[in-house]
Copies of this chain bind each other. A is one copy, B any other.
Amino acid sequence: KADSVSAATPTEEMNGAGNLMDFLDEPFPDVSTYEDFHTIDWLREKSRDTDRHRKITSKSKESLWELIKSLLDAWSGWVVMLLIGLLSGTLAGVIDLAVDWMTDLKEGVCLSAFWYSHEQCCWTSNETTFDDRDKCPQWQKWAELMTGHAEGAGAYVLNYFLYILWALLFSFLAVSLVRVFAPYACGSGIPEIKTILSGFIIRGYLGKWTLLIKTVTLVLAVSSGLSLGKEGPLVHVACCCGNLFCSLFSKYSKNEGKRREVLSAAAAAGVSVAFGAPIGGVLFSLEEVSYYFPLKTLWRSFFAALVAAFTLRSINPFGNSRLVLFYVEYHTPWYMAELVPFILLGVFGGLWGTLFIRANIAWCRRRKTTQLGKYPVLEVIAVTGITALLAYPNPYTRRSTSELISELFNDCGALESSQLCDYVNNPNMSRPVDDIPDRPAGPGVYNALWQLTLALIFKIVITIFTFGMKIPSGLFIPSMMAYHHHDWIIFKNWCRPGADCVTPGLYAMVGAAACLGGVTRMTVSLVVIMFELTGGLEYIVPLMAAAVTSKWVADAFGKEGIYESHILLNGYPYLDVRDEFTHRTLATDVMRPRRNDPPLAVLTQDSTTVEDVETLIKDTDYNGFPVVVSRESERLIGFVQRRDLTLAIKNARQKQDGVVSSSVVYFTEDAPQLPASNPQPLKLRRILNLSPFTVTDHTPMETVVDIFRKLGLRQCLVTRSGRLLGIITKKDVLRHMAQMMNQDPESIMFN
């Protein structure tokens, strides 16, 4: 039969594939395996890695040196994890110290050593009790330093003015650095990292420059007082570290699939240092950012997260040998009845999450589509100015957000100088500290509550405008800020007769968890992070109750969290594992060509000329072409990548005699013997993928979506009883899903 393909023994085929590897690996430095903004093929990456592994294993039996090399290769994964842990822990420590110092620099300077932060400055001045903390002689506010007057309206205005000036300077520096050196260093980075981990290529997003600039500008942005946190960007920084160390080992640098395993672990390390929660970090990576997370990665992520946490701890940026500023330990139990306010907090968190996502996305869309987006520097300057202007008068917004959270989470001690703890003291001071709620609240408490409410509203509004600006910005901490403190007053009345009473800090923490849950839709990882912050199983039920409620409430208004919304907004080709596809469409409805389209661009196994192929490559931008027996029978024999085809033809034209435009391209096992007068055939079977993925036209789309997700395919061919009918790419799947959800399919932009 003319259209049959003779059988090849496996070894022969495989050797062909082996040669292909050598020949295509780096033939022309300008053609990389995947193009920028394209999707990788997970199955192909995996089988490339298996090939590499097989080669090393078989070589390792040859000599001792090869054996050592194979052992080093096996251990390189752990070495990379160790390095990631060390570097991201160190960077987190440096960032923490720098933010501390620069935040205080907005208010004043340490005379004994200008590189000391307020707290460090007053530590050295040996005379500090808790009350005197704010008044140590070495630390001078700017007004005091410049005019000699520490008090009075003039000094206040001067301090206010300088505070704004510093803030503007920091944010201007930040936005300029980002614009000039590393445009990818802006934003939280988590939506992009999610997309990259799902198999998308964004060159330079995790590069060295991005790492450097993101670290510096993150410090500047947080210090400028903008309503943003360092947690999301820390994940980006850690992933940059991961990418950096990948380049040390060809195992990871040359395989996009293996590289993503390292990046998943790096994300875990990033969350680990951001919250001091290694287990939470691993679960965050598993639940929120990672796509393909084999068990081996779980174990390694945990290792990286632990190393990072302990590196940070040995740097000890907060001087309390804890991993985070707001580590807390509560000792009072909670009561069943308190579940009601916790659930209410959950509802509030869910509503806030929905509101925040909608408002933020609307604002970002406006920024993208209108004139506004053209002046990012101006926008940052304006928002910083407004933030600083409004923040200074309120002591709760003047300070850095993490300091504020730390104060709110903590219980009041008897020695606490905070306004929130300004209860009327009983003369009987021998009573234990836990009894504070028995005392009536002093004027300071009401004052503080009023200020906190204002702070809450201010933060809610300003964060909507801040997230998405062209500087590094994270969401975690601002979200945590939006807690709900009013319950407190209600409960004060309720529990005054009792001896034990509610823990205000616990409410702040539950509120924070609820808001964070509403915004990001994290679940287990959120509870575990909070659990690691408090260090006790006691409060896991309140946290769980709030997190569950918050997610339910928020999900009722829209399934996407903030990161998914930003992915959608940017049109990244992200196939969410959580979306359930429930429509009744079939592969035939999604495949191209559509009804009135021109026929599918295919190659035949033995009747296409080099010129035809070149024309096809020039005229289309497809990533690959199916190869069929003949145009009449349309029986599929394989799939050939555009890149391999381009390279092979380029190569053949340069090196192989007799290959001209009219040469026939053969994908069959053996090319026929042609008379010498005919142009030499070009044999390309070795670049033909003989196992393309196929589904039948009757396959339900839910199965197709499942296959794309689980196997990480780039494209899939559609057949009916052996005949090729069409092709479905990941982009087609995403567009179809968008269409089914009544969204604009054109919003999916990349391949």
Contacts and interface: CB of A to CB of B under 8 A. Distances in A.
Interface of A: 3-5, 7-8, 10-11, 13-14, 43, 46-47, 50, 53-54, 57, 278-279, 282, 286-287, 294-296, 298-299, 302-303, 306, 309-310, 523-524, 527-528, 531-532, 535-537, 540-541, 544, 548, 577-578, 580-582, 584-589, 629, 635-638, 690-692, 694-700, 702-703, 706-707, 710-711, 719-723
Q: How many copies does the complex hold?
A: 2
Contact of A523 (B299, B581, B698, B710): B299
Given A690-B698, A692-B696, A527 B302 contact: yes
- 7 residue pairs, one from A and one from B, having the closest CB atoms: A722-B722, A690-B698, A691-B699, A635-B722, A710-B710, A299-B523, A635-B721
Nearest to A54: B582
9 contacts: A13-B586, A53-B582, A278-B540, A282-B524, A302-B527, A302-B544, A306-B541, A636-B721, A636-B722
Contact of A524 (B3, B299, B719, B721): B299
A254 to B, nearest CB: 18
A702 B584 contact: no
B722 A577 contact: no
B540 A14 contact: no
Contacts of A719: 722
Given A690-B696, A691-B700, A694-B694, A10 B540 contact: no
A540 B298 CA distance: 16
Given A700-B691, A722-B721, A57 B582 contact: yes
B295 A577 contact: yes
Contact of A637 (B282, B296, B692, B721): B721
Given A13-B586, A309-B537, 12 more contacts: A7-B588, A8-B698, A14-B584, A43-B703, A53-B582, A279-B528, A287-B295, A295-B578, A306-B544, A587-B691, A690-B696, A706-B711
B584 A54 contact: yes
Which of A298, A537, A696: most chain B CB closer than 10 A?
Answer: A537
Which of A50, A306, A548: most chain B CB closer than 10 A?
Answer: A50
A54 to B, nearest CB: 6
A585 B691 CA distance: 13
A548 B82 CA distance: 14
Nearest to A53: B582
Contact of A3 (B54, B302, B706, B721): B721
Contacts of A585: 10
Given A523-B299, A541-B306, A698 B635 contact: no
A487 B703 CA distance: 57
B57 A524 contact: no
Given A54-B582, A298-B287, A536 B537 contact: no
B298 A13 contact: no
Given A10-B585, A536-B535, A702-B50, A302 B524 contact: yes
A541 B536 CA distance: 19
Nearest to A10: B586
Contacts of A587: 691
Contacts of A278: 537, 540
A3 to B, nearest CB: 7
A694 B707 CA distance: 13
A582 B14 CA distance: 13
Contact of A691 (B287, B296, B695): B695
B295 A698 contact: no
A333 to B, nearest CB: 10
A703 B722 contact: no
A511 B523 CA distance: 33
Contacts of A537: 278, 309, 532, 535
Contact of A707 (B296, B711, B722, B723): B711
B536 A703 contact: no
A10 B588 contact: yes
A302 B525 CA distance: 10
A296 B584 CA distance: 23
B11 A584 contact: yes
A46 B306 contact: no
Contact of A721 (B5, B13, B696): B5
Contact of A47 (B8, B286, B524, B703): B703
A279 to B, nearest CB: 6
A721 B2 CA distance: 13
A145 B17 CA distance: 83
Nearest to A720: B5
A310 B690 CA distance: 56
A696 B703 contact: no
A698 B50 contact: no
Nearest to A577: B295
A720 B700 CA distance: 23
Contacts of A8: 698
Given A295-B287, A577-B295, A578-B295, A303 B548 contact: yes
Contacts of A629: 721
Given A47-B703, A721-B637, A722-B722, A584 B10 contact: yes
A286 B286 CA distance: 11
Contacts of A5: 720-721
A702 B692 CA distance: 14
Contacts of A14: 584
